Amino acid sequence: MNLSAKNITVTGRIADVSATLEPGKITAICGPNGAGKSTLLSCLGGLITPDNGYAELGGVPLSDMAPIERAKQIGFLPQNGEAAWDVAVRNLVALGRMPHRDAAREPVDAAITALDLEALQDRPISQLSGGEKARALLARVLAGQPEWILADEPLAALDLAHQLALIGHLRKQADAGTGVVIVLHDLALAMNHADRVVVLDKGSFAGQGAAEKMLSHAVISEVWKLDIDWLGESGSKALSIR
């Protein structure tokens, strides 16, 4: 089921933004600081009710869905997410099963393994580093087995090895049919790993399409005001600023 924004306006943040996101793909939302990326993601997750327009999943407005059904379908990882209680990592991850009202062990085990948390699963959240906490919070989302994963800057607190491991896992999720939407500042990561890119500029929709199109020299020059070159081969390109 497609996840769509329909003429969404949040006063002072984004204006008349429309985009259609497809399952089975990684979509990156990119744009300069203040472009409205996190606001759009929150609208797509049903966390913000727009002043105008709406978000819909499979043709059904999110506002018409019961919160628990929406939580089963959409897993949301906020920027700088926190845990409400100082519980062990495993217990935090298991909270991802709450929308399903069960205590299934298999998806919790799979999420812990995917995020390389086995050695940390009995440790309290307060004793984790920033990167470890970010991985634990994402594991909680994965444990819920949502059809859509929405993540706001999920790679920001991770070292390079865990960035690549995480993006690799998100790729596996997308290849299995899950829709993955991530806010990214790192344009090289978006170019190399996203199937589609939505670009916002000063709260307005600047375009949507393949990464090569939306992160071209012309678009980056217009939106980010940078003169750049892409170096290397497809899938492993580096961004060079002139």
The residue extents of the domains of the chain are 3-241
Q: Which amino acid is at 152?
A: D
Q: Are 170 and 142 in contact (CB under 8 A)?
A: no
Q: pLDDT band at 242, cuts 50/70/90?
A: confident
pLDDT at 168 over 90: no
Which of these CATH numbers, 3.40.50.300, 3.40.50.720, 3.30.70.100, 3.40.720.10, describes 3-241?
Answer: 3.40.50.300
Q: Are 153 and 130 in contact (CB under 8 A)?
A: no
Q: Which amino acid is at 80?
A: N
Q: With pLDDT > 90 as the criterion, what percentage of the chain qualifies?
A: 82
Give me the helices (H) in the chain, please: 37-44, 67-73, 89-94, 105-114, 130-143, 160-175, 187-193, 211-214, 217-223
Q: With pLDDT > 70 as the criterion, what percentage of the chain qualifies?
A: 100
pLDDT tens per residue, range 146-166: 999 999 998 887 888 888 888
Comparing CA positions, the residue from 184, 132, 221, 163 lying closest to residue 26 is 184
How much is the pLDDT for 107? 95
pLDDT at 226 over 80: yes
- Dist. CA 16–CA 132, nearest whole Å: 37
- Dist. CA 102–CA 81, nearest whole Å: 23
Half-sphere exposure of 167 (CA within 13 A, CB side): 25
How much is the pLDDT for 114? 86
